[in-house]
Structure 1
Amino acid sequence: MSKLPLISIVTPCFNEEENVDELYRRVKASVSNIDKYAFEFIFIDNHSEDNTVAKLKALAANDPTVKIIVNTRNFGHIRSPYYGILQSQGVATIYLASDLQDPPEMIPEFIRYWEEGYKLVMATKPHSQGSAWIHSLRQSYYRFLDGISDISVVSDSTGFGLYDKEVLDHLRTIDDPYPFLRGLICELGYEIKTIPFTQPRRLRGISKNNFYTLYDIAMLGIVSHSKVPIRIMAFAGLALGAISLLVAMVFLVLKLLYWDSFPMGIAPAVIGLFFLFGIQLMFIGVLGEYIGTIHTYVQRRPIVVEKERVNFDK
C-alpha cells in the first residue's frame, strides 16, 4: 500500500457513458507526472439509466484507484455530488464534473497553489463557449447574490476546484443535508485562490441543467445566505399599506368634495386588488422557499442512499 499522501478526485455522474472513458484518460494523464502523491478517482453515479455504471466498473476492474459509489436512485444535482466529496479520504480533494467542461488539465495547477498554502483553490469561468445568454444570466445572478449576502461569494464558480481536508472536515461537522456548496465554503472564511478559465462547450451527451435545476440552485443560494428578500417583503408590505391608505384617503376627500362630478368606478379597485394579489403571491412564494429549506433541515433524511461500492476498502 502506498505511503504517499493521498489526493482524491471526485466526479459525479448521471448518464455520462459518452464521457467517462475520456474523462478517466485525461485525469490520469494530468496526474501522471506528479509522483509526490497517490491518487484515488471516485465516481459517484446518481442512478444512471444508460451504460455509465458498466463502463465505470470496467475501468475499476483494471485500475484499483478507480472507486465507484452507485446510488439507489437519483438524489438530485446537489445532494449526490456533495455526498461524493464527503466520502473522499485524501489530504485534499479535487472536484470536477463528468461532462468535460471542467478541464482535468488544471489539476496540477490546483495542487501547486495548494502546496503554497491555500486551503481552497477554485476555478472560475468568466468566459464560456456554451450558451451566451445562460452564461450572462449566471454572471448577473452571482453579482446579485454577492450584493445581498452577508459573505462574499466567489463569482463564476461551478464548484470545480481543490478542497483541503481541513475544509471538508468543517463541512462534515456542519452536516448540511442540502448545501449550497459554493456559498458554504465562503462562510468558513478561508482565503480562496481563484483561477480563471474559459469553459469549453459540451461536445457529447445532454446537459442535465434545465430551468428547474438552475432555479433550484439560485433560490438555494439566496435563502441559504441572505435574509434580504424577507426584509424587502416586510418593507414593501409597509410601503404598499401606507400608499393604499393614502390613496384611499385621497379618493374619499375627492368624492366628498365633488360628489356628483367624481365617479369612482370599479376599475381602480379591480386593478389595485389584482396588483396586491400578485404581490402577495410572490411574497408567499419567497416565504415558501425559506420554509422549504427549514423543512429539509428538520427532516434530517440521508443525503443519499448507496446501492453499492466498488474498490473501497472495507
Structure 2
Amino acid sequence: MLTNKKISVVVACYRDEGSIPELLRRLEETMARITPSFEVIYVNDASPDRSGEVLLEMAKERPWLTVVSHSRNFGAQVAFTSGMYQAEGDAVVIMDGDLQDPPELIERFVSLWLEGNDVVYGIRAKRNEGMVRNLGYKAFYRILQKISYLHIPLDAGEFSLMDRVVVDSVLACPERDRLIRGLRAYAGFRQTGVEFNRPRRYWGESTQSLLDYIVWAYKSFTSFSLFPLRLISIVSFVMFFLLAFLFVFYLVAFMLGYPAPSGFMTLLGVLLMLGAIILFALGIIGEYLARLFIEVKNRPQPIINRLVNDQRARPRDWLGRAAPRD
C-alpha cells in the first residue's frame, strides 16, 4: 500500500459500453495496490449505447462504484466536473472511459502526489494515431501554450491526479463552458507531469470528427487567450501602414510621371481584401460574445437523472440541490 488516504477516480463515459468491465477490473487491481480507501465515480453522459445498463449491473456488486447518469449529453468537460463534485477523496483522478488513459499509471501519479506535488498530469508522449492527427495535436498544444496567458503543459490532456485543494479551486470557477486542463493550470500549485504512450481505444471507434477537433481548438484558444482579439488590432495596424505606403508610392509615382495601377479590378481587389479582414474580425469578436452569451444565461449543468451508490455524507449536486438517488 502506498497510502491510507482516500483516492477518488472520476471516469467520463460516452459510447464506452465494451470498455467498462475491463476498465473496472484494471482499476480495482490498481487501486487495491495503492490504498484501502478508494471510490470510482463513473459519469454516464447520456451514452446512446448500453453503457448505462452495464454500469448499473456492475454497481450492484461493487459498493465502491458510484454511477452518475446525466439527463442528456453535456460533454466530457461537464462530466468530469460532475464527478469531481461527487468525489470525496483527498485526491481525485480524472480519466476517459475508453482505456486510452492507462489505469496502471495512477500508481505513479499517487507516488508523485505523496512526494508533495499537488497536480500530476499525464503527458501524451506518443499516440497510436495517424501522422496527420499526431501533427495536428502537436501543433494545437504548442500554439495554445504560445498564445495563452497561462502556462498550459504541452501534450497534457485531462488525465491527471489533483489534490483536494486543487479540486476545490477548479470547482470554484463558475464558468459553464469549461476546459479542465486550463482551469487546472489556472489553479496553480505545484504541478508535474508523467509521460506515457497513449494507446488506441479499447472498444469502438472515436466519437470525435475533424470538425469537432477544430471547434475544440477554437474554444480552447478563446477560453484562455486574448491573442485572437489582439490579432484584430495587429492586422488593422498592418493594413493601415500598407495602405499608407501604397498611397505615398502612388503619389510619388504620379509626381514623377510613372503610370500607377488603375481601373476597376484594382479597386475591387482592395475592397474584397478589406471586406475579408472585417469579416475575420467580426468572427473573432462573435466567438467571444458567444462565450459570454453561454455564461450569462447561467443555466444549470449538468442535470442528474440518476445516482447510484452515493458515497457522500451530504448528497447534494454541484448547484446545492438535492440529487436523485437510488
For residue 266 of structure 2, what is the aligned residue in structure 1?
A: 268
User: Following TM superposition, by how much is the alpha carbon of 1:309 offset from its aligned partner in structure 2, in angstroms?
Assistant: 0.5
Q: Which amino acid aligns with 2:204?
A: G
For residue 150 of structure 2, what is the aligned residue in structure 1?
A: 151
Identity %: 27
- Per-residue displacement from partner, 1:124-179 (whole Å, max 9, x unpaired)? 01211122321221111111111122221111111101011110111222222122
What is the CA–CA distance in structure 2 between the aligned matches of 1:77 and 1:241, rounded to whole Å?
A: 43
For residue 16 of structure 1, what is the aligned residue in structure 2?
A: 16
Q: Which amino acid aligns with 2:245?
A: L
For residue 237 of structure 1, what is the aligned residue in structure 2?
A: 236
Moved over 4 A (4+): 252-259
- Per-residue displacement from partner, 1:242-299 (whole Å, max 9, x unpaired)? 322432454456457659x656111222222222222222221111221111222212
Q: Which amino acid aligns with 2:196?
A: F
What is the CA–CA distance in structure 2 between the aligned matches of 1:233 and 1:202, rounded to whole Å?
A: 40
For residue 322 of structure 2, what is the aligned residue in structure 1?
A: none
User: Following TM superposition, by how much is the alpha carbon of 1:41 offset from its aligned partner in structure 2, in angstroms?
Assistant: 0.8
For residue 291 of structure 1, what is the aligned residue in structure 2?
A: 289
What is the CA–CA distance in structure 2 between the aligned matches of 1:167 and 1:270, rounded to whole Å?
A: 56
User: Following TM superposition, by how much is the alpha carbon of 1:78 offset from its aligned partner in structure 2, in angstroms?
Assistant: 2.5
Residue 130 to residue 262, structure 1, CA distance change in 2 (3 Å): closer
Report the secondary structure of 2:27's partner residue. Answer: helix
Q: Which amino acid aligns with 1:176?
A: E
- Per-residue displacement from partner, 1:171-199 (whole Å, max 9, x unpaired)? 22222212221121112221211000011
Contact map agreement 1:7 1:37 (CA 8 A) in 2: no
What is the CA–CA distance in structure 1 between the aligned matches of 2:122 and 2:162, rounded to whole Å?
A: 12
Q: Which moved more, 1:268-277 or 1:209-218?
A: 209-218
What is the CA–CA distance in structure 2 between the aligned matches of 1:50 and 1:283, rounded to whole Å?
A: 41
Q: Which moved more, 1:85-94 or 1:8-17?
A: 85-94
What is the CA–CA distance in structure 1 between the aligned matches of 2:99 and 2:261, rounded to whole Å?
A: 67
Q: Which moved more, 1:56-65 or 1:24-33?
A: 24-33
For residue 98 of structure 1, what is the aligned residue in structure 2?
A: 97
Structure 2 residue runs without a partner (length 5+) = 316-326
Q: Which amino acid aligns with 2:290?
A: G
Contact map agreement 2:100 2:201 (CA 8 A) in 1: yes
For residue 139 of structure 1, what is the aligned residue in structure 2?
A: 138
Q: Which moved more, 1:98-107 or 1:76-85?
A: 76-85
For residue 207 of structure 2, what is the aligned residue in structure 1?
A: 208
Q: Which amino acid aligns with 1:27?
A: L
How do 1:101-120 residues align onto structure 2 when only pairs under 5 Å count?
101-120=100-119
Q: Which moved more, 1:205-214 or 1:188-197?
A: 205-214
Residue 263 to residue 187, structure 1, CA distance change in 2 (3 Å): closer
For residue 50 of structure 1, what is the aligned residue in structure 2?
A: 49
Q: Which amino acid aligns with 2:30?
A: S
Q: Which amino acid aligns with 1:41?
A: V
Report the secondary structure of 1:163's partner residue. Answer: strand
Instruction: Give the length in aligned residue pairs.
Output: 309
Q: Which amino acid aligns with 1:210?
A: S
Q: Which amino acid aligns with 1:17?
A: E
How do 1:21-32 residues align onto structure 2 when only pairs under 5 Å count?
21-32=21-32
Report the secondary structure of 2:96's partner residue. Answer: coil
Contact map agreement 2:19 2:202 (CA 8 A) in 1: no
What is the CA–CA distance in structure 2 between the aligned matches of 1:188 and 1:311, rounded to whole Å?
A: 30
Q: Which moved more, 1:138-147 or 1:58-67?
A: 138-147
Does residue 1:311 correspond to 2:309, yes or no?
yes
Q: Which amino acid aligns with 1:201?
A: R
User: Following TM superposition, by how much is the alpha carbon of 1:14 offset from its aligned partner in structure 2, in angstroms?
Assistant: 1.1
For residue 194 of structure 1, what is the aligned residue in structure 2?
A: 193
Residue 263 to residue 151, structure 1, CA distance change in 2 (3 Å): closer
Residue 173 to residue 77, structure 1, CA distance change in 2 (3 Å): closer
Residue 50 to residue 258, structure 1, CA distance change in 2 (3 Å): same
Structure 1 residue runs without a partner (length 5+) = none
For residue 38 of structure 1, what is the aligned residue in structure 2?
A: 37
Q: Which amino acid aligns with 2:15?
A: N
User: Following TM superposition, by how much is the alpha carbon of 1:212 offset from its aligned partner in structure 2, in angstroms?
Assistant: 3.3
User: Following TM superposition, by how much is the alpha carbon of 1:217 offset from its aligned partner in structure 2, in angstroms?
Assistant: 2.6
Contact map agreement 1:10 1:96 (CA 8 A) in 2: yes
